[in-house]
Amino acid sequence: MSESNPSASSEQCGESEAAASCTDPTRRAVLTALAGCACLAAIEPAAADDEDQPGASERPQKADVLVRAEGDKAGQVIKSDDLKLGGPPIRAWPQDPKSSVVRKGSRLNEVVLVKLDPSELDDATRARAPDGIVCYSVICTHAGCPITAWLKQDQGDKNVLKCLCHNSEYDPRQNAQVVFGPAPRRLAALPLTVADGAITVAAPFVGKVGAQQGG
């Protein structure tokens, strides 16, 4: 702390150990770096503890709520009104409503939600998408990259979920089927329910989550 106050430097360097650290810039830099590492070491376990809580690595469970996975509202519960018709999508984690544990201990638990016109959905998709809100695994089935884009499809005029790693595209209206790129299969779907604006998980994932080369 003394180094941030130049006027006090001569007073702080009276003792031999303090003098050595004040007069030797190399040693001072090393001590500063070690102090910074100590601070990080104190912070990191807390983040790790969040992901190691009981239930954090379990797949989404019935009645879980969904919380934002990114941005300045990360951790906030998502309501149906938070989703705009036609996008953009929102990335989310499931959260146990009883323990408040966010199930982010496994990256395979992250999902993406987007609100679409129910009339555009096929029967299988509509059955698990209340108010047109579809929910899919965010993990691309090709190489396991996270899906980060909501763009016009390569061969059409509708927006699709797109993985920018290798340009695989998934149509969320048609059960997240692959419509372009090397992905071998569709995204796993997470059935939802909506009651009084609250979005909850209705059932476990439908389909295999994660990458699976060759289908």
Give per-residue burial for 127-161: e unless 16+ CB within 10 Å, then b: ebbbebbbbbbbbbbbeeebbeebeebeeeeebbb
Residue 14 scores a pLDDT above 70: no
pLDDT of residue 212: 66
Encoding tokens for residue 149?
A: 């884009």
More confident position, 99 or 17: 99
Selection from 106, 108, 94 nearest residue 61 by Cα: 94
pTM of the model: 0.75
Task: Specify the long-range contacts of residues 52-55, CB closer than 8 Å, at least 24 apart.
Answer: 52/105, 53/99, 53/101, 53/105, 54/99, 54/101, 55/96, 55/99, 55/101, 55/103
User: How far is residue 121's CA from residue 129's CA, in Å, rounded to a whole number?
Assistant: 9
Residue 186 scores a pLDDT above 80: yes
Mean pLDDT of 80-102: 96
User: How far is residue 8's CA from residue 3's CA, in Å, rounded to a whole number?
Assistant: 8
Encoding tokens for residue 66?
A: 């969904």
Tell me what percent of the residues of the chain surpass a pLDDT of 70.
74
Residue 206 scores a pLDDT above 90: yes
